[in-house]
Amino acid sequence: EDQVTQSPEALRLQEGESSSLNCSYTVSGLRGLFWYRQDPGKGPEFLFTLYSAGEEKEKERLKATLTKKESFLHITAPKPEDSATYLCAVYGNTGKLIFGQGTTLQVKP
């Protein structure tokens, strides 16, 4: 059974304090790993897709990396507007996108 575990569940940072969010996964035939951002009461907003181990993607203060067992979302010098829940999801041979519980990030000014 495909499974995604994200850690930590919650993370509080000071503005400018860099950190990383972890996504560990088990999947039958990884076809893609996705990162989304979700604001309260809203739908997931697409950030990155990673397809193979060693791949990296960057967007503004965010950088996503992928290994055979986990993915990291690195946040460099975060700002208060980066506060949100970050979701990791995997797509494998089941043909279903499976989400983790998410990491809720709070960035204080």
Partner 1 sequence: EPEVTQTPSHQVTQMGQEVILRCVPISNHLYFYWYRQILGQKVEFLVSFYNNEISEKSEIFDDQFSVERPDGSNFTLKIRSTKLEDSAMYFCASSQLATAADTQYFGPGTRLTVL
Please state, in angstroms and rounded to a whole number, the distance separating the CA atoms of residues 109 and 42: 23
Q: Are 72 and 21 in contact (CB under 8 A)?
A: yes
Residue from 21, 86, 91, 107 in contact with partner 1 (CB under 8 A): 91
Considering only residues 10 through 69, tell me which ones interact with partner 1, judged by CB under 8 A: 31-32, 34, 36, 41-46, 49, 51
How buried is residue 42: exposed, middle or buried, by Cβ count under 10 Å (0-12/13-18/19+)?
A: exposed
Contact window for partner 1 (CB under 8 A) among 9-17, 57-65, 68-76, 91-99: 91-99
Residues that bind partner 1 (CB under 8 A): 31-32, 34, 36, 41-46, 49, 51, 87, 89, 91, 94-102
